[in-house]
Amino acid sequence: MTEPTRLTNRQVADILAGVGARLQILDANRFRIIAFQNAAESIRNLAQDINAINAAGELKNIPGVGKGIGDAIHHLLANGSDPEFDALFEQVPQGVVDMMQVPDMGPKKAKRLWEELGIDSVDALRTAAEQGKLRDLKGFGAKSEEKILKGIELLSTRVDERTSIGVARPLALGMIAALKAALPPETIERIEVAGSLRRWKETIGDVDILCVSGQPVLVMEAFRSLPEVAHIAGAGETKSSVVLGNGLQVDLRVVEAKNWGAALQYFTGSKEHNVAVRELALKQGWSLNEYGLTATGSGDAAEGEQRFFAEEADLYAFLGLEWVPPELRENRGEVQAARQHRLPTLVAMGDLQGELHGHTTYSDGTGSVAEMAEAARARGYRYWSVSDHSVGLGIVQGVDADKLRRQRVEIDAYNAHCTEQGIDFRLLQGSEVEILADGALGLSDEVMAGLDVVVASIHSAQRQDRETITARCLKAIYNPHVDILGHPTGRLIGSRPPTEIDMERVLQACRETGTVVEINANPARLDVNDVYARRALELGCKIAINCDAHDVLGMEIAEFGIGTARRGWVTAADVVNTLPLDAMLACLKDVQAKDD
Ligand SMILES: [Zn+2]
Ligand SMILES: [Zn+2]
């Protein structure tokens, strides 16, 4: 029996996404389109090999994959193709689908350009726009040609083969747990992720895992046999490299206990940080590698003398350095700060007292006010702000003054219940107010004055030029009722670039007005990022770390916000939602209005 070509998870996801995109262009049933898009996304992020799932007859158990799509995938995996999919791919050229990727294009425009002007690739689109041919089409003008050319340019700079930390981290931790479970107890003495994942970088190239074990061969075999492994790229006695179904490469190294500190330091990186540490070691007469220090003979120790470190902190201490938290290891001044023993005490998960940005069923959330409150309480939070989208967002049904009044009744009732039961928890009423295209806000000043916390964010007209979008945002920041600027750059990692907003001016205005800068913890956003967070602190801004939860599990991503904050040198004192309720509220603008 000959086996058909094995499709990888990524290939299957690409095919399903391609089907979804073509259905979009053909204006098919909306739910059918969404079904394909969801299935593609789900399979792309799957750790297990789709072929194995198929073999076990469990395709339909994959979240987002129903019976219909499950059968089609089964067919696809068995035969390498599916006649219905093939027909769709033939009908709509790939070039037209690619055109949809150009910012601002969308399926409707792509379809019209293809059908009415015969444009069937991004290259052809560029040429037509350059030659001013698009303006012949109703609804297109010189302005849209300019926009499209700019969009194509943006598209070409988007080369990101890295994996979001939101995907990589749970995968890596899951593999570590599975590895431990697969081996007799105590086979693994120590195990930890290193590399950019340990530094909480927003995207990850490869995953590096280190471990200490007296039985490396056993560990290697168990690692390579994990169900997530789609392909074995390297199989040594103390090092193995595997590729997961989603294309992520994971390396596991077994090191000796006495080398653990140096190995962990070496494989955590960054390269730049390690160069700085190595140079420092050399000045003291030691050469540093993944095993430890070796005397060069230029210092007091005899040439060739070795020093090993079972703990990372001991290595740093030997070199006269404070232990540097992994998040700071980017050679952004941390080595010098560690020498002077003035590294900051970074904010940590346990510091958060509550959150100031999250959604309920009043807008696009799936949890009720009470359900979200319970989820917040379960995390040990003392307060949580209901901040549903205001009107003005278009696609999402937002809250207006009337809906807010009804919501206030529900919030008051929940708080009264807490008081009765002696529960130290307070629901706040806020809103994520839309900053409209002209800088006006989605709620009136009068309505905002009645809210406890106002987050202002941009979700629309994100392709405005630098001057326009910055002025728009500044207008919101100068509004005395706006307390927090939500996900300031609007980026979605790997899929949407940040707006052209002038963050320096925005952060200056935030400091001037006391507007709090949000670190949105959603791993697809992480907005502001580490660099802007640090700049915000330098300028004297306050930070809020919010999950922007849209369901009861949505607060479990807080650690990604904390990781980003730590990379930005943020301490607990810089973050308003590490404060008890009253102190936190006193940090916000508009205090008088709230005291009324
Ligand atoms: Zn938002
Ligand atoms: Zn939100």
pLDDT digits (tens, 9 = 90+) for 495-531: 888 999 999 999 999 999 999 999 999 999 999 999 9
Query: How many Cβ atoms sit within 10 Å of the Cβ of residue 216?
Result: 21
Question: 453 φ, ψ to 5°?
Answer: -140, 130
Rg, Å, the chain Cα set:
27
Q: Is the pLDDT of residue 160 over 70?
A: no
CA of 488 to the centre of ligand 2 (A): 12
Q: How confident is the model at residue 162 (pLDDT cuts 50, 70, 90)?
A: confident
Superfamily of domain 268-339: DNA polymerase, thumb domain (3.30.210.10)
Q: Is the pLDDT of residue 180 over 80?
A: yes
The string of pLDDT tens digits covering residues 90-109 is: 999 999 998 988 877 888 88
Q: Do domains 9-92 and 95-156 have the same CATH topology?
A: yes
CA of 355 to the centre of ligand 1 (A): 14
Q: How confident is the model at residue 4 (pLDDT cuts 50, 70, 90)?
A: low
CATH number of 349-595: 3.20.20.140
**Of the bound ligands, which one is closest to the alpha carbon of residue 462?**
1
Nearest to 433 by CA among 470, 469, 401: 401
CA of 487 to the centre of ligand 1 (A): 7
Class level of CATH domain 95-156? mainly alpha
Query: Contact, 230 vs 301, CB < 8 A?
Result: no
CA of 358 to the centre of ligand 2 (A): 6
CA of 451 to the centre of ligand 1 (A): 17
CA of 456 to the centre of ligand 1 (A): 8
**Of the bound ligands, which one is closest to the alpha carbon of residue 489?**
1
CA of 519 to the centre of ligand 2 (A): 12
Architecture of the domain spanning 9-92: Orthogonal Bundle (1.10)
Rounded to whole angstroms, the Cα distance separating 39 from 16 reads 7
Q: Is the pLDDT of residue 313 over 80?
A: yes
The string of pLDDT tens digits covering residues 435-445 is: 999 999 999 99
CA of 419 to the centre of ligand 2 (A): 28
The string of pLDDT tens digits covering residues 10-39 is: 889 989 999 999 999 998 888 888 889 888
pTM of this structure: 0.76
Q: Is the pLDDT of residue 580 over 80?
A: yes
User: How buried is residue 315: exposed, middle or buried, by Cβ count under 10 Å (0-12/13-18/19+)?
Assistant: buried
Residues that place a CB less than 5 A from ion ligand 1: 457
CA of 415 to the centre of ligand 1 (A): 25
Helices (H), 45-135: 50-55, 67-79, 83-91, 94-100, 106-117, 122-130
The string of pLDDT tens digits covering residues 543-553 is: 999 999 999 99
Rounded to whole angstroms, the Cα distance separating 329 from 276 reads 10
According to the 3-state scheme, what is the secondary structure of 380-411? CCCEEEEEEEECCCCCCCCECHHHHHHHHHHH
Architecture of the domain spanning 168-255: 2-Layer Sandwich (3.30)
Q: Where are the domains of the chain?
A: 9-92, 95-156, 168-255, 268-339, 349-595
CA of 265 to the centre of ligand 2 (A): 37
Mean pLDDT value of segment 191-204: 97
Q: Is the pLDDT of residue 5 over 70?
A: no
Rounded to whole angstroms, the Cα distance separating 471 from 279 reads 46
C-alpha distances out from residue 422 to 416, 418, 578, Å: 10, 6, 22
Beta strands in 306-410 (DSSP E): 306-307, 354-355, 383-389
**Of the bound ligands, which one is closest to the alpha carbon of residue 355?**
2
Nearest to 555 by CA among 431, 380, 362, 375: 375
CA of 488 to the centre of ligand 1 (A): 9
CA of 45 to the centre of ligand 1 (A): 23
